[in-house]
Structure 1
Amino acid sequence: MEQTIGDRFSKLIEALRTNKSAFAKSIGKSHTMVGTIIEGKNKPGFDVIEAIVTAYPNVNTDWLIKGEGEMLKQSANSDPRNDGYLMQYLQSLEQRVQEQSAMIRTLTQQLGKPEVVLAYAASCAFFLRFGYNFGYNLLTGEVK
C-alpha cells in the first residue's frame, strides 16, 4: 500500500520526537489542521509545506510531497532538530525582533509629537463621525 502524505506527516512528527500540537505550533498552524492531514481528511496546501521546510530545512521535500527518497536531506539517521537549524531559526527570530523593535521606536517617536497625536485624533474623530469618505476628503483635500 502506498504511503499517504498523512502517513508521512505522522512519521515526520515521530522522527522529531514531538506530538501533533507541538509540531503544529512549530510551523505556525493549528493542531486540528495537522490532525486532519494525518487522518487523510485534508491535504496540505503550499503554505503548510513551505512552513515545514522553513522550520525544518533538512526535511526532503520530495519525500514529504511525493514519498520519494529519504525523509531527511542528510543521512537517514540525522536528527531533524539539529543545532544548525536551531541557530538559523534563532537568528531569524532575532532579526524579526530587531525589526519590530525599530518599528515600535519609530511609532513611539511619531506618536510622542503633539501635532501627530492631535492630527491622528482629529482624523479618527472625523472618520467616526462623518464616515471614511468625508474624513479622507477633509484630510487630503481630494474628492473621492
Structure 2
Amino acid sequence: MNNLTSTDFGERLKTLIFKMGKNQSSFASSVGVSHTAIGKIVKGETQPRFSLIDSILKAYPEVSRDWLLEGTGEMFINKPTITPTTPEAYLQDYLKRLEERFEKLSEQLTVKDRQIDRLMDLLGKLDDVIEEARIVALWKESQARA
C-alpha cells in the first residue's frame, strides 16, 4: 500500500461506485462511513483508512483487492449482477434508510426521555433536601435568638 496515492485510489473508488450503480451516499452507508469521508477520498483529499478498505472488501466480496489497492487486474473477481438503479428504486432505498434512521432516532429519544425523567426526579428530591435544610437553618436561627 506504499504506492497508494490518494488520487489514484479516489479514481478507482469513484469508478467502483459508478459500476456498482450507487451514489457516494448509498455506497458510504453500505460500508459504514459518512458520505463526506467518501467524497474526500474520491477527490483525493484524504487517503482511505485500512478499516474502510476492509469494509469495502467485506461488503463487496466480488471486488478485487489488487485492483482496489493497486489498480492491477480486473475490478471484479466475478462479474457482479448489478441491477440498474431506477429513480423509483433509488427513492425506495432512500425511504428505507430514512425509516431506519427515524426508528433509531425514536429509540434514542425514548432513552433520553427516561434520562430526563430520572433527572427531574433527582431534582425534585434535591429541592426537598434544600427545603429541609432551610427549615433546619431557620429553626437553628430561631433557637439561637431565644
- TM-score, normalized by length of structure 1? 0.51
RMSD after superposition:
1.9
What residue is the counterpart of 1:17 in the other structure?
Answer: 21
Shift of 1:45: 1.1
Contact 1:6 1:40 in 2 (8 A): yes
Contact 1:56 1:80 in 2 (8 A): no
State whether structure 2 residue 42 is matched by structure 1 residue 43: no
State whether structure 2 residue 49 is matched by structure 1 residue 64: no
What residue is the counterpart of 1:54 in the other structure?
Answer: 58
For structure 1, the 5+ residue unaligned runs are: 82-144
- Letter aligned with residue 19 of structure 2: A
What residue is the counterpart of 1:101 in the other structure?
Answer: none
Tell me the SS of whatever aligns to 1:73.
coil
Contact 2:21 2:82 in 1 (8 A): no
Percent identity between the two aligned chains:
40
Larger radius of gyration: 2
Shift of 1:79: 3.0
Aligned residues: 78
For structure 2, the 5+ residue unaligned runs are: 84-146
Can you list the C-alpha shifts for 1:99-127, whole angstroms capped at 9, x where unaligned? xxxxxxxxxxxxxxxxxxxxxxxxxxxxx
Residues in 2 aligned to 1:6 and 1:79: alpha-carbon distance in whole angstroms: 23
- Letter aligned with residue 18 of structure 1: K
Tell me the SS of whatever aligns to 1:4.
helix
Shift of 1:80: 6.1
Can you list the C-alpha shifts for 1:46-89, whole angstroms capped at 9, x where unaligned? 100000011000100100000000000124xx3368xxxxxxxx
Quick one: which of 79, 85, 88 aligns to 2:81?
Answer: 79
More relative contact order in 1 or in 2 (CA 8 Å, sep 6+)? 2
Residues in 2 aligned to 1:79 and 1:38: alpha-carbon distance in whole angstroms: 24
Contact 1:63 1:70 in 2 (8 A): yes
Residues in 2 aligned to 1:80 and 1:72: alpha-carbon distance in whole angstroms: 12
More helix by share: 2
Contact 1:36 1:42 in 2 (8 A): yes
Tell me the SS of whatever aligns to 1:29.
coil
What residue is the counterpart of 1:7 in the other structure?
Answer: 11
Residues in 2 aligned to 1:80 and 1:26: alpha-carbon distance in whole angstroms: 15
